[in-house]
Amino acid sequence: MEDKENTSSSYEKLVSQDLTAEDDLPVHRNQEHQVTMSALRPGFTLNHYKMFTVSLAVLALILLVVDIGLGVYYYKLTDGDVVKDISSEIAKLQISYNAAVQGRDDALKLLATERSQQQVTRWEHEHLTARIKDYGNQVERIQMDIATLKSQLPMIREGCRHCAPGWTFLSSTCFYFPFASTYSRTVWQEARQSCQRLGGDLVVLDSRDKQVALFNFINTFRNPSGILHLSGFWIGLTDAEDEGVWKWLDGTKLKEGFWSIGEPNNVNNEDCAAIYPTDNPFMAWNDAPCEFRLKWICESAPRSIG
């Protein structure tokens, strides 16, 4: 109360002073009056403070509400369903990612396996192509063999009709070729007896047809690395009775001989003749010592056709 009275009296003093001074300073009176009123009016200042305080309180309340709201929102973000959903989504994405990586690795392994398999298939293809070519060559050879055997069929069939088992029908005659390993080379006389035991005799080559037929046959057994004078086959021709006079076993004299160049030369008391596999069917005979051990060829008359 004392303050209010002091303030009120001070205010009255100031007003009276102000009114007194108005006459002395007429020029600046209104201006100074305004400044003094705004700065010193006590009722207006108090309201202003009250309003200011209320405003501050309201602002504080608003900030508090906003703060609580942010807190709630933060709680929802950090501990609420949204975070849970995001974590769950991340976990799902991680699983999907792991599955995709696993799938990629599996696909890479499969690709490597497929490439390896493709390489193997390529090698197999090359190998099979080479084998097919080889088979083609074999088929050609087999077809040629079949054609040869077919051409020999009539001869074999005829051989069965006209010759004893094991004998070959060639040039209208039955021949026996004791070429098997069970027959070792032997002297001329023993070869002849062997043929006789089989029902024949050593071969008589008294025609070009027979000479060519037998020459071709023995040439299939030619051994170029063998010893030449041991590669012959005894035939039924000898000059043992009369040197230089060659006779067949049936007693007929030789008319046309198919001697090699320089033969017969009788260089070693050579009274027996043999046929050799050479390059010329009409130059294929040699006279050799009858004690030489050679292979031989037998002949027998065919059974009559009928």
Residues that bind Ca ion (CB under 5 A): 263, 265, 270, 286-287
**Which residue, 198 or 283, has its beta carbon nearer to ligand MAN?**
283
Task: Check if the beta carbon of residue 186 is closer than 8 Å to that of residue 194.
Answer: yes
Q: Which stretch binds ligand MAN (CB under 6 A): 119-127, 179-187, 195-203, 264-272?
A: 264-272
CA distances from 58 to 45, 55, 64, 67, 185 (A): 20, 5, 10, 14, 142
Shortest Å, Cβ 287 to Ca ion: 4
Q: Is 229 in the site for ligand MAN (CB under 6 A)?
A: yes
My answer on whether omega of the bond before 264 falls inside 30° of 0, hence cis, is: yes
Find which of ligand MAN, Ca ion, none residue 58 binds, CB within 5 to 8 Å per kind: none
What sections of the chain are H helices per DSSP? 2-21, 29-40, 42-79, 81-162, 188-197, 208-219
CA 197 to CA 200: how far, in whole Å? 7
Q: Which does 229 bind (CB under 5 to 8 A by kind): Ca ion, ligand MAN, none?
A: ligand MAN
Report in angstroms how near the CB of residue 260 gets to Ca ion at its nearest. Answer: 8
Residue 43 tokens read as 């009722």
Q: How far apart are CA 281 and CA 210, in angstroms?
A: 11
Residue type, 299: E
* Piece of the chain touching ligand MAN by CB under 6 A; list 57-65, 159-167, 205-213, 267-275: 267-275
Looking at the Cβ atoms of 189 and 207, the one nearer to ligand MAN is 189
Nearer to ligand MAN, 178 or 232 (CB): 232
Residue 210 CB: number of other CB atoms within 10 A?
18
Q: How far is CA 275 from CA 103, 220, 298, in A?
A: 83, 14, 13
Site for ligand MAN in 150-189 (CB under 6 A): none
Residue 268 binding partner per list Ca ion, ligand MAN, none, with a CB distance cut-off of 5 to 8 Å that depends on partner kind: ligand MAN
| 96/268 with CB nearer ligand MAN | 268
Q: How many residues bind ligand MAN (CB under 6 A)?
A: 9
